[in-house]
Amino acid sequence: MTPDQLAAQATAILADLIAIDTTSRESNLDLIAYVERHLGQIGVTGRRVFNAEGTKANLYATIGPVEPGGVVLSGHSDVVPVDGQNWTSDPWRLTRRGDRLFGRGTCDMKGFLALSLALAPHIAKGRAVRPLHLAFSYDEEVGCLGAPSMIAEIAREVPSPAAVVVGEPTDMVVVSGHKGIATWTVTVTGHEAHSSLIHLGASANMVAVRLMQQLADIADRLAGEGDPHGPFCPHHATLTIGQVNGGTAVNILARECRFAFDLRTLPGQEPEAILAPFFRACEAADADLRARFPDTGVRVERRSRTPSFAPEADGVAERLARRWAGDNGPARAVPYAAEAGQFQGAGFSTVICGPGSIAQAHQPDEYIEVAQMERGAAFMLRLADDLLG
């Protein structure tokens, strides 16, 4: 099989995957069923790992012998919303214009899933000496929530793989590190009163502003740290407040103010340690409010935490993936978070490498270049050569 042939097969599969709306707020079970039917045609049965509600599932499967030393190809099934975006073609229909394939999820990251599924029959028909494992997750886009339960099961049930390739879009070059991300929501509950009588109430907005200033001060401090010669850009941890909602009218002391923020950390940094001064300020504000009005306070809730992914010294996965990708470039790290850190935390040698550009992800008219699908196909066939001995 040639890369062009595999890329063509993958593009046909990609059209089917794009047609399934797997926005994170929706179930992904239709896509999982599609993958199961595809694998069933080659005699392979996958294993579902459901969420607590049973509305979403991860899926992992082994093609080839149940032996150690295989390769895991991992990708997430969910995509970000298209709401409010100005698309010039149907986001749920794969559309080719020139040398680009348009549709939601083309690069992030159904293009990689399609290539993985196109490769599976090639491995199944050959006499593989080491297995190919597919690992498809849910809810990556909302905090890498789905993968941990699947990774734990793979670590427990699958003979130890040699390498994990997480197929986030990297233009088919190898990435060996990413930042971690942790997100929190803070809810300040105040006591309503007329805005001219501040002694009779407590404005949630005013308390929240002071707490947000604490975060801004931490963000400024972080900007002066980090290694300017390191692989990350920005080279330091970052903190941003992404959402603020509070109050009902200009002349009413606000009953509630809620804000959400994210902290993106370098390998080795602990989010809770960085945020310790902020947490202390929240505790002090909570005690002050409750001393005045028992029904008030400050509640801090962590929404998600995805660990960072640290470059491995002489990592097996990086060595293999660079050969499959034909990549002799410098060491690379990315500022976004992915599931690579979760695989690494479970003891797997891991890299990120996938078709498409992250610059196209989450955008209206998301696309992947045909050349990237072809490069991805060449990568897959070199990987297959290793598994087939």
Question: Same domain, yes or no, for 227 and 214?
Answer: yes
* SS3 assignment, position 388: coil
| Spatial separation of the C-alpha atoms in residues 264 and 270, rounded to whole Å | 10
Q: Within this chain, do residues 165 and 189 fall inside the same structural domain, yes or no?
A: no
Q: How far apart are CA 12 and CA 177, in angstroms?
A: 32
Q: Which of 169, 117, 96 is nearest to 7 (CA)?
A: 117
Reading the block at residue 284, the tokens are 């002090």
Are residue 45 and residue 111 in the same domain, yes or no? yes
Query: Do 24 and 171 have their domain in common?
Result: yes
Backbone angles phi, psi at 297, to 5 degrees: 150, -175
Return the CATH number at 321.
3.40.630.10
Pairing of strands 297-306, 238-246: unpaired
Rounded Cα distance between 170 and 353, Å, is 6
The residue from 266, 291, 306 where one domain ends is 306
What's 186's domain CATH number? Answer: 3.30.70.360
User: In this predicted structure, what is the pLDDT of residue 196?
Assistant: 97
Both 19 and 157 in one domain: the answer is yes
- pLDDT tens digits in sequence order for the chain, 389 residues long: 899 999 999 999 999 999 999 999 999 999 999 999 999 999 999 999 999 999 999 999 999 999 999 999 999 999 999 999 999 999 999 999 999 999 999 999 999 999 999 999 999 998 899 999 999 999 999 999 999 999 999 999 999 999 999 999 999 999 999 999 999 999 999 999 999 999 999 999 999 999 999 999 999 999 999 889 888 989 999 999 999 999 999 999 999 999 999 999 999 999 999 999 999 999 999 999 999 999 999 999 999 999 999 999 889 999 999 999 999 999 899 988 999 999 999 999 999 999 999 999 999 999 999 999 999 999 999 999 999 98
The structure's pTM equals 0.90
Q: How far apart are CA 44 and CA 60, in angstroms?
A: 11
Position 314 scores a pLDDT of 87
Q: pLDDT value at position 336?
A: 87
What domain range is 294 assigned to? 180-306
**pLDDT for 81:** 97
Place of tokens 């992030």: 108
269 and 342 co-located in one domain: no
Using alpha carbons, list the distances in angstroms from residue 54 to 27, 51, 57, 327.
9, 5, 7, 41
Return the residue matching tokens 């049930």.
157
Q: Is 299 found in the same domain as 372?
A: no
Is residue 166 located within the same domain as residue 190?
Answer: no
Helices 29-40 and 3-18, packing angle to 10 deg: 140
Q: Are residues 115 and 9 in the same domain?
A: yes
Same domain, 184 and 144: no
Per DSSP, helices labelled H in the chain are 3-18, 29-40, 111-125, 147-157, 204-223, 271-274, 276-292, 316-325, 340-345, 370-387
Number of domains, the chain: 2
> What pLDDT is stored for residue 335 in this prediction?
86
Is 113 buried (19+), middle (13-18) or exposed (0-12) by CB count in 10 A?
A: buried
